[in-house]
Amino acid sequence: MIKYLKSNKIIIILILIVCIIFILNPKIYSNSCLNAISVWALKVLPVLFPFFILTRIIVSLSEFKVSKLDKIFNNTYHVPKFGFKIFLLSIISGYPMGAKLICTLNEQSLIKNKEAEKMMSFCSISGPMFIIGTVGVNIFLSYKAGLIILIANVIAALINGLIYRKEKYIEEKLIYTGNKQENVLSNSVYDATISILMVCAYIILSFLIIDILINIKIIDYFSNFICNIFNCPQNFDTIKSSIIGFVEITRGIIELNNANISLSIKTIIASGLIGFGGISIIMQSLSFLNKLKIRVKTIFKQKLTQGLLSVIIAIPLALFFIH
């Protein structure tokens, strides 16, 4: 209880500091928020919002009949027999759809908290539209780089699921409590609207925090500290962009593209950042999983291992196929 109160005080103090910094430089940080809204409106909203609606409708109307691939996933990952369908929808839609789908299944009594936690280890993944379209083609100007990042992240997610599968899933007869068919569309649109606005809020907070950390030189300090430890001052920009990507992946990868390193190294680092997802994605996922009482450190640990696996898998692919 004492530790809890102390942590609350620390959080309150940090928030007050952020508020004071914002008040002292309102123009700079208002622009940070506007930049975040621009990224959300142009890159996130057109992709995620339709998927939020459509996947919610799919989950609400689906009878979740078991396929052969579902059975394979059940035996391999110790999850309910429609685990493959959720994995597939998560890949197609990208962050943070996996968490959103898992939350919806839990709300409709199709999975329990324990299964939800295990499914997050391989259903929290970025989609091909962001990886290939945004990162590969638009930022790195390389379709091949985007494809390598996508392959590395999909394989990493599958391996990550094996690490956290734990005990075998015991099938129980759960009572489906989904929406009535006549309310599915209106419920799905309402739910998608609230969800996409939550995503917007977290992106704004991430951009604001990044700009504050940059302006008060915290990110520069940590970048220099790491450079001094590994004696690599020439890699300052790469390390700095990686730290930014650790908070928010899109902005971090944009900064990474400006670093003076080869495309293969950019691809490897970007793969790790996307596999981890960034603090912003983790917080977005946790906002959907709030009712499931999944611990922050559990999701953080899952994403760390997924990011590390993405780097390991991307290394031979990038070095061999990108010259």
Q: Round to whole Å and give the CA distance between 189 and 299.
A: 28
Q: What angle do CA 42, 44, 49 make, to 5 degrees?
A: 110
For 280-321, write each residue's pLDDT tens digit: 888 888 888 877 778 888 899 999 999 999 999 999 999 998
What residue ranges of the chain have pLDDT lower than 70? Answer: 1-7, 59-67, 167-182, 323
What is the reported pTM?
0.85
Q: Round to whole Å and give the CA distance between 154 and 88.
A: 10
Place of tokens 């930014």: 244
Alpha helices for the chain (secondary structure H)? 2-24, 26-39, 45-61, 68-77, 83-93, 97-107, 113-123, 128, 143-163, 184-215, 218-230, 236-247, 249-257, 263-276, 278-288, 296-321
| pLDDT reported for residue 65 | 61
Q: Is the dihedral of CA 199, 202, 208, 212 positive or negative?
A: negative
| pLDDT reported for residue 182 | 56
- Domain edges within the chain: 2-45+125-166+184-321
DSSP code of 289?
S
| pLDDT reported for residue 250 | 86
| pLDDT reported for residue 44 | 77
Q: Round to whole Å and give the CA distance between 285 and 98.
A: 8
| pLDDT reported for residue 15 | 79
Q: Write out the two tokens for 119.
A: 């499914």
| pLDDT reported for residue 55 | 73
| pLDDT reported for residue 101 | 83
* Cβ atoms within 10 Å, residue 184: 17
Q: Round to whole Å and give the CA distance between 247 and 206.
A: 7
Q: Is the dihedral of CA 215, 277, 91, 292 positive or negative?
A: negative
| pLDDT reported for residue 286 | 85
